[in-house]
Structure 1
Amino acid sequence: MQELRVGVLGFGVVGRGVVELLLTQGALLQQRTGVRLRLVRIATRTPSRNGDLALGEVELTDDLQRVVAAEDIDVVVEVIGGLEPARSLLEQALRSGKHVVTANKALLAMHGADLVPLAVANRCELMFEAAVAGAIPIIKVLRESLAANRIDQLYGILNGTCNYILTEMRERGSSFADVLRDAQAKGFAEADPSFDVDGIDAAHKLVLLAAIAFGSYPDFSQVHIEGIRHVSDVDIQWATEMGYRIKLLGIAKQDAEGVELRVQPTLVPVSSMVASVEGVYNAVFVRGHAAGTTMYHGRGAGERPTASAVVADLVEIARNWRVGCVGRVAAFSCLSENLRAFPVRATDEWRGEYYLRLAVADRPGVLAEVTRVLAEHQISLDAIHQKGRSAVAAVPLIMVTHATTERQIRLALREIEGLDAVQETPRFIRIEPSVV
């Protein structure tokens, strides 16, 4: 029986999940691969935090080099996260001829263009199914199941924390701040939630999916990123009344003019499937020219879902190992020499429908002033909504536009903000009426 010797870097939530699966499902994995996946060593800065997990003969060490540089390790699993020392450790592992499995989306989004050629040069596998959407096997789908398709669009809910917050804001009628505190108390949000609520986590995932779908190296600088901090309970309420849900979507589109990569709060029709994805769940929708639109739904984070994806990559490596195969499927779908850089469409060129929210003084002529500015910027309106009267406080003025460019929206709102009757910074949210 062939044996694949595994070393794990990191013993946090995901690391423990990986170790538990390897120790408890060894017989099943051996049946499915024809290879014994033997966990040799775990390296962690805090080896004393073993808890109640029985490791048997598995070595637990605080020396990371005992995994990366050891001759008795064939494949390195990296679940420590962050850019450093993860990047240096994985580069060292690849140069030493060790295969690598990682869940590190930030590292791959920022430095995948360097790590993949290094893996190829050293005839090593670099696998990262767990880096995007947890238990959803979306990377394998894009690389293999949809390989015959030209992908022109993918979009999805890529961050469970944001989806939970937006779901709870709607269901409870609560503010962003109140729901965030609740999410932190329940363990759905970090003490510092910036990576999640500011859209960075979703952007890391989006750039990896787009690279695989479009056949390019990931370039994180190309992604337009907006988070959900400015989504108010007023926006949630109005979206619901108008037949929409607000979701933080990652959207990647490709056409003859270039590529759009954006993470942003988005109004989607309540009748769409993406609107029905609630709580901490993720979903990804992919449109291929032959397959049409396909949907992938599941838990996007957590110990077991993420560990499941990590071990799935180990299974793939073991199967390749058994038949003496390396690099059967390229990391970003195409061979390195066939990867291309695509022109990125400027934000100003994006065209679509928009939801606008203004806080204005309740007096005659205000609506006329606002619509005059919009008309001067060639923006036509599909709907106008206003409720409530107040002699002293601002009242919300809600508008939905017909299709226009982002440039026109930003120029118009900048001018509208200068009107005497407008008492707060105007807000806008893009609408995607055609999502499924």
Structure 2
Amino acid sequence: MERLIRSAIIVDPNSKHNGKKRDILIKNGVVDKIGNSLNAKAKTIEAEDLFISPGWFDLKVNFCEPGYEFKEDLNTGIAAAKSGGFTGAAHSPFLDPVISTRSQVEYLRDRAKNLHFDLRPIGSLTQGAAGKVISEMYDMHLGGAAAFSDLYKEVSSGIMLKALQYVTPFKGLIISMPLDHSIAGNAYVHEGKTSASIGLPGIPAMAEEIRIKRDLELLEHSNSKLHFSGISSAKGIDLIKKAKKKGVAITADVHFQNLVFNDESILDFDSNKKIFPPARSESDRKALIKAVKDGTIDVIVSDHRPENIESKDLEFEYAEFGIGAISTMYSVLTEYGIDRNLFVSAVALKPRAVLGIEIPTLEEGSKAEFTLFQEGKEWTATAEKSKSRSKNDPFLNTTYSNKVLGTIFENEFYLNA
């Protein structure tokens, strides 16, 4: 199978063609030629203001299969990811059953491969994410697990230390979603003036900062490496920045909705804006954007968490956390000061660097795994256009200036209408 992509500007700092407008011929899943005015008897992909980059990789998604197919399944979740420009993702362990064995990891890898998508499951840190016994991390690692985490669940200091020590010999990665649950309690918004004015229980930023400090101390003792996921506060950023300056082996990500929303965004009580960690103050939001730009935060994730209408069409207090917005993430973020080069770095290059996996590049002979997108191409996101089974995306029914055209994964060419 051959495809010729005409006049696309290459966004790939690892390519000698970076920043240049080129024709790209892809043959049998491999980049055959890159040049100007290429001639080939191939179907052509051509569009105005077209850009091409290494395929985007989301470091945190949940496609809900097995166990929660009424919210999403691998077919609909991967279709939503592709429509949003993603060719791969790391998958949350929170399925039913929780991902705690090698066979579960291999099943998801194989299913996604058949759907032309690079899915890297995150294995649970403890068996069943119950917080009691370390899971079979090495066995899952051999099966292709990307990393290990209990994400939203409480992990004691002793278990975290054991996990960090356990993965060190095989260079495994532990992911910490920093939150002191004893402080957060059952609260569900940011603690501040807004929460006080509307009478909702708040989670203080301190709950994040205390856990970051703890995990940094455990990391120093273990001589391992650690990735912090879902950073939401300015003080949390400061702790990470100081640790990086000291040479501590850490990386960090932010949920993209925390770059967009602040705590006042929930004044309309839209349950689709109920997120975790909560959207914090405007100064926190601005600090997060600055941290992405200066590299303190390495990666931006969608935290794609589909929820059915029965879980969201409730009073704010009782609605489930989460946004299923992998399809609109690019278009939204480009409205908030994240330019194309920064986006590609934080969503295509650095996520793979965090996991230590191969980064696609636009060079002749490279495997084809790319994203096509357009700038200055207006489109309106609607529920009808969404490929996700669930529609808990607060960014629908909005017109955006930039659009994902599609993805290329070896021999599959996925193009949005």
TM-score (norm 1): 0.25
Structure showing greater relative contact order (alpha-carbon pairs closer than 8 Å, 6 or more residues apart) = 2
TM-score (norm 2): 0.26
Q: Report the structure number with the largest CA radius of gyration.
A: 1
Say which structure is richer in helix. 1
